[in-house]
């Protein structure tokens, strides 16, 4: 997990849509979708749940595991930044 994927997960949580999250980051939908697929495959449990589009369009939401992953990433990043300040 890196900064880009963590931000994508946060934006999916915010917008409820992979497409909207990708647009907000100026990221192509296909790239965002591939990032989510890879992240879900590598994680012990899915981080994003998707529903296929229809009349109202598709939706995506962050799972509890996804929220934990984002929070864990933020904590690690903050610790790393603190370490760099001390060096």
CATH code where residue 9 lies:
1.10.10.10
Cβ atoms of 12 and 62 within 8 Å: the answer is yes
Residue-number span of the structural domain to which 63 is assigned: 3-86
Report pLDDT for 56: 66
Q: What is the mean pLDDT of each run of 10 residues along the chain (87 residues)?
A: 92 94 96 94 93 75 95 95 89
Report pLDDT for 51: 82
Report pLDDT for 58: 73
How many residues belong to the chain? 87
- Domain count within the chain: 1
Report pLDDT for 44: 92
**Residues 32-37: contacts with CB under 8 Å, at least 24 apart:** 32/8, 35/4, 35/5, 35/8, 36/8, 36/12, 36/60
């Amino acid at each position: 997990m890196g900064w880009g994927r963590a931000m994508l997960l946060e934006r999916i949580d915010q917008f409820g849509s992979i497409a909207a999250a990708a647009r907000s980051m100026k990221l192509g939908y296909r790239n965002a979708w591939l990032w989510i697929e890879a992240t879900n495959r590598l994680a012990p449990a899915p981080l994003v749940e998707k529903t296929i589009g229809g009349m109202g369009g598709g939706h995506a939401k962050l799972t509890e595991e996804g929220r934990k992953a984002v929070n864990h990433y933020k904590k690690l990043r903050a610790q790393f930044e603190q370490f760099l300040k001390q060096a």
